[in-house]
């Protein structure tokens, strides 16, 4: 077997096509691990276990899962940065996390009560972040600044591919939760294992101060602005990811408008269409941001597109309104995820604590997942039916995220 070697230097060397391919595949596996689970399978299971208050149970599951994810990502990043040994500081934890994810799937399938589902999701989030925190650090460790936009364009394929896997498992070929989780287990393993088997890390970087670091005050301010921008984007994305199935069922009345169709099949079709546009927007955005040497205008544009899609959801629930909204949302989400990934890796304070710093940044993924259920419950009101208020509030937050990024000074 031919191995892909990693040699740590004062600054990372340029990466080749082989490394980009296996890193992209691993990212795809990570997103397959959680996107269809949290956007499709868990809402369906919540509706079965608590038909009288499915939104309440889903919000509870999301809340406790996000709390677990926040702590697990920070801890996993800290441990990964400080792991010595012949197998490297990232690979052992990625492997342990992968095994844990597969075990958590079995626990989720076996959950037969609301409490059991909450505990199973907490276990999944612990295992997933044990895998994802060191995996995410590999990108910042290995990819130089002048390639970050290009490589981010490839690993930006992960989010839409993760969403596309939801389309696959929603087909009649896999009618049960057990069958769907088995398919996810196979896909995740097939995507992550090539990186573990063919990439060898070099020695850990020295613990001395990084002489190439920019002034700490500038970096800290830039880090804060990027953190705030991503936080806003992720609140909007968390609302769409967690509640779109119930939006289509209760507000858009998808099943009533399309006799014989299920809501999950309708969501799968919307995701499939959006995925194509997400792929295109992310890939083009990543390449252009590298070529032009600019990140902030692309993120601002992404905020506008995301907000436009959410406003369509709020004001036009009749078909084809949800389709138009998902197209705009998909374009914005694809553009945002790719360019933001490059920007975050570019403004990290130090290579020696990459995973720890990314763990702090990853709070912008997990804290919004805590706040989104609170926002949903408050905005939807006692009857859980005020969808326009929820979507308009989310649109305003997305716009704010696009504007905050202009506070960054280290890059354009």
pLDDT tens digits along 362-396: 788 778 877 888 898 898 888 878 899 999 999 99
| Distance of alpha carbon 155 from alpha carbon 342, whole angstroms | 10
First to last CA, the chain: 42
CATH 1.20.1250.20 fits 15-202, yes or no: yes
Identify the architecture of domain 218-411 in CATH. Up-down Bundle (1.20)
Count of C-beta atoms within a 10 Å radius of residue 144: 15
DSSP-assigned states of every residue in 9-49: -SSPPPP-HHHHHHHHHHHHHHHHHHHHIIIIIHHHHHHHH
pLDDT tens digits along 59-71: 889 889 988 988 8
Residues of the chain with CATH 1.20.1250.20: 15-202, 218-411
pLDDT tens digits along 27-36: 999 999 988 8
How far, in whole angstroms, is CA 209 from its chain's centroid? 31
Whether the pLDDT of residue 17 is over 60: the answer is yes
In a 3-state reduction of DSSP, which class is residue 199?
Answer: strand
CA separation, residue 192 to residues 10, 199, 206, 346 (Å): 28, 11, 28, 25
Is residue 64 within a helix (H) or strand (E), and if so which, with residue range? helix 54-81
| Distance of alpha carbon 281 from alpha carbon 302, whole angstroms | 10
Position 242 confidence tier, pLDDT thresholds 50, 70, 90: confident
pLDDT > 90: percent of the chain: 28
Whether the pLDDT of residue 293 is over 70: the answer is yes
Whether the pLDDT of residue 249 is over 70: the answer is yes
């Amino acid at each position: 077997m031919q191995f892909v070697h990693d040699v740590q230097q004062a600054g990372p060397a340029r990466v080749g096509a082989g490394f980009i391919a296996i890193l992209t595949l691993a990212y795809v596996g990570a997103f397959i691990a959680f996107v269809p689970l949290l956007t499709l399978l868990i809402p369906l299971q919540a509706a079965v276990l608590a038909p009288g208050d499915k939104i309440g149970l889903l919000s509870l599951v999301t809340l406790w899962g996000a709390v677990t994810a926040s702590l697990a990502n920070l801890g996993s990043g800290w441990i990964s940065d400080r792991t010595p040994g012949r197998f490297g500081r990232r690979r052992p934890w990625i492997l342990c996390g992968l095994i844990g994810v597969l075990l958590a799937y079995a626990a989720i399938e076996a959950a037969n009560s609301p409490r059991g589902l909450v505990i199973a999701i907490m276990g999944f989030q612990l295992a997933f972040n044990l895998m994802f925190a060191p995996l995410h650090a590999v990108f910042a460790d290995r990819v130089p600044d002048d390639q970050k936009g290009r490589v981010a364009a490839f690993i930006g394929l992960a989010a839409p591919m993760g969403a596309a896997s939801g389309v696959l498992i929603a087909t009649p070929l896999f009618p049960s939760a057990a069958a769907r989780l088995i398919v996810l287990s196979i896909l995740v393993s097939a995507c992550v294992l090539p990186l573990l088997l063919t990439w060898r890390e070099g020695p850990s970087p020295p613990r001395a101060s990084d002489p190439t670091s920019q002034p700490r005050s500038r970096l800290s301010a830039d880090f804060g602005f990027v953190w705030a921008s991503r936080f806003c984007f992720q609140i909007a994305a968390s609302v769409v990811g967690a509640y779109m199935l119930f939006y289509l069922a209760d507000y858009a009345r998808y099943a009533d408008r399309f006799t014989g169709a299920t809501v999950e099949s309708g969501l799968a079709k919307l995701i499939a269409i959006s995925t194509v546009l997400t792929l295109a927007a992310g890939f083009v955005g990543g390449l252009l941001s590298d070529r032009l040497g600019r990140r902030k205008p692309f993120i601002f544009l992404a905020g506008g597109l995301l907000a436009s899609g959410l406003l369509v959801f709020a004001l036009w629930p009749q078909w084809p309104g949800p389709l138009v909204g998902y197209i705009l949302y998909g374009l914005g989400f694809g553009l945002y995820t790719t360019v933001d990934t490059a920007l975050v890796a570019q403004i990290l304070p130090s290579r020696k604590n990459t995973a720890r710093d990314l763990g702090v940044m990853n709070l912008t993924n997990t804290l919004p997942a805590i706040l989104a259920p609170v926002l949903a419950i408050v905005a939807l009101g006692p009857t859980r039916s005020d969808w326009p208020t929820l979507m308009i509030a989310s649109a305003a937050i997305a716009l704010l995220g696009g504007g905050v990024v202009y506070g960054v000074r280290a890059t354009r």
